[in-house]
Structure 1
Amino acid sequence: MEYLDFELPIKDLEEQLVKCTLIGEESEVDVTSTCKQIEKKLAETKKNIYKNLTPWQRVQLSRHPNRPYTMDYIKALCGDTFLELFGDRNVKDDKAMIGGLGKIGNQSYMFVGQQKGYNTKTRQYRNFGMANPEGYRKALRLMQMAEKFNIPVVTLIDTPGAYPGLEAEERGQGEAIARNIYEMFRIKVPIICLIIGEGASGGALGIGVGDKVTMLENTWYSVISPESCSSILWRSWEYKEQAAEALKLTSFDMKKNKLVDDVIAEPLGGAHSDREATFKSVKEYIEKSYAELSKLSVDKLLDKRMEKYFEMGEYKD
C-alpha cells in the first residue's frame, strides 16, 4: 500500500494496529481493548482527513498509483464481453487511447478512454496516458462507428494532457482535438463522459463532449495542471497548492459552476481504497444515464447537448 504525504497519520495508525494484533497472536497478553482504541482512532483520523481534503490533495488522489485506470473499469463493467478495436486507419494505433465494444447487462456500449501504465515499462508503452493525434482520430472513428450501429458511447477521461511533442504537432494535434469536439456535438447517439482521474486541457476535451459529463469525487478537470499554472505565474512549481485552489478544478467546484452534471461519490480514502464499490457506482450511473437519454429523440438529444454547452459561462458584447 502506498501512502500520500497527507495520509502518513493513517499509515502510522495502521502500522500500530498491525503490531498490536501480532502481539496478541504471539503472546498470552489480552490486547483487545488496545486494538479497539487504535481502530476507533484510525476511523476518526480517516474521516477527518478525507472529509476535509484541499484541492491539491484531491489532485494527488486522482494520480494515486493504485487508482483504477480505464481498462480496470472496462474489465469490471464488461467482463469478457469487451472487444478492443485498434487504429485510426491513417497513421497507426495509439496505445494511450483505447476503445472498443462491450456490454453492461444486455446493452452494448462503445467505450473510449485514455489508458495509463502500471509500471515504468507500461507507462512508456502507454505514453503516460497522453494521446497523439492518431489517438483522437481513432476515438472519433469508433464513435462514428457506434453512431452507425446506434450504440451509445461512454468515454473515460484520465490524462495529464494531449502529447505536446513536435511530431504530434506536425501530425495536427490541435486540429484532431478540435475536430473531435466539433463532431461529438453531432454524434446521433447518447454520449456519457466520465472523468475518472485527471482531466487536463484539450487532451480531456478531445473526448469530453457529451450529454452527461460526470466526475468522480476525487478527480480534477481544468485547462491547465496546478504545476504548469504555478510555473507560468510564479516561475516555480512551489505554488502548485495555491494554483490548485485558484483554478477551481475539483469535482465540487465544477458542479457548482455547472460545468459538469454530476459527481459520483468515492469510498472513504479514494477509488482505490474500495475498487468494487467504485465500479458498482460507475455502473449504476451509466445505466441510469442511458435509461434517461435513450428516451429522447435524436433531434431532442442533439438540441439538449448543444444547449448544455451554450449555457456555460458568461460573456458581454
Structure 2
Amino acid sequence: MNWQSPARLWLLLGVLALVVGYLAMQRRRSRYAVRFTNLRLLDRVAPQRPAWRRHVPAGLFLAMLALLVVGFARPSAEVRVPRERATVMVAVDVSTSMLANDVDPDRLSAAKEAARRFVDGLPEEFNVGLVAFAGSAAVLVPPSTDREALHEGIERLNEGITGVQGTAIGEAITTSLGAVKSLDGNAAKDPPPARIILLSDGANTSGMDPMEAAAQAVAVKVPVHTISFGTPSGSVDRGGRAIQVPVDGQTLKAVAEETGGRFHEASTTGELQAVYEDIGSSVGYRKERQDISARFIGLGLVFAMGVAAGSLRWFSRLP
C-alpha cells in the first residue's frame, strides 16, 4: 500500500497524544477514588458504575480518528479489475475418445459441467465464446456476454458434432483466434485482451500443425491455456469391443509453453474443476493502482456510529 499524501500521516501523532491524555486522566480518576474513603457513601452516590463499558466509546472514538487520518492521507493499492473487452475462448474436444468413462460419467460430460461452472465464475463483463473440435473445429457460440447462449452451446457439445473424426488441436486454436478477431468492428486492428482455454485428451491427428497455430497465437499475444483430461487407462466401447484411448498431453504442453499459457493435467472431475478455478482466477484481469481511502473513511464512520450507540446505551447521551 502506498500513500498519495504521506505527510498527512503526521496527524496520527495528535491521535496518539489523545490516547496518552485519556490514559493519564483515567489514572488521575482512580487516585481520586482511592482517596474517597467513605465507601458506603460512594455506593449510595454511584451504586452502579459502568466499569469497562465507559472506555468503549472512547476507544471507538480514537480508532475512528486514526482511520479518518489514514483515509485523509489517501492510501492506494493495486486492485484487480476486469479488462474491458476481455475475451475468453473455451475450446472443447468432442472427438470419440472423449466418451471414455474413466472419468465419471465420461470425459465429455465432465468437461461440459466444468465448463459451465467456469464461465459462470467469470465477471459478467467478459466476452466468452465456445469452440468445438474433433477432426475439424467450429465456433458454436461467438464471444459475447450472453451467458444463456453460452450455456445452450455447452449443452450442444456432443461427440461427432463437427462431422469429422480425429483431433485437430491446431484448427481449434486458429478457429478461436478468428472468433476473437471478429469480436467487434475494431478487433481486427485493435485486438482485445484474450485467452484461449483448450481442453483435450489426445495428441493432434489432423488439420494444421498445433505449433504453427501456436505461432499465430504468439503473434497476436493470445496465451493458450491447455488442459489434458483423462487417465492412461481410458477406453471407449465400439461394437462391444473396448478401444484404448489413453490420455496424451505432450502436444498440449508444448502449445502452452510456446504461447505463454499454462499446461494442466486433470484425471478426475474434481481436478478438472480445480484447474478451471485456477485459470479463472488469473485470466483477463489487469492490476490497477486505485485510491482506497474510502475503505478507511467508511470504517471510521462505522466506528463513529458505534461511539454514538454505546454512549446512548450506557450513558443516555451522545458524546
Both proteins in one fold, TM over 0.5: no
Decide which structure has greater strand share: 2
Q: TM-score range by the shorter chain?
A: 0.3 to 0.5
Decide which structure has greater helix share: 1
TM-score by length of structure 2 reads 0.34
Look at both structures and tell me which one has the larger radius of gyration over its CA atoms: 2
Highest RCO, 1 vs 2 (Cα 8 Å, sep ≥ 6): 2
TM-score by length of structure 1 reads 0.34
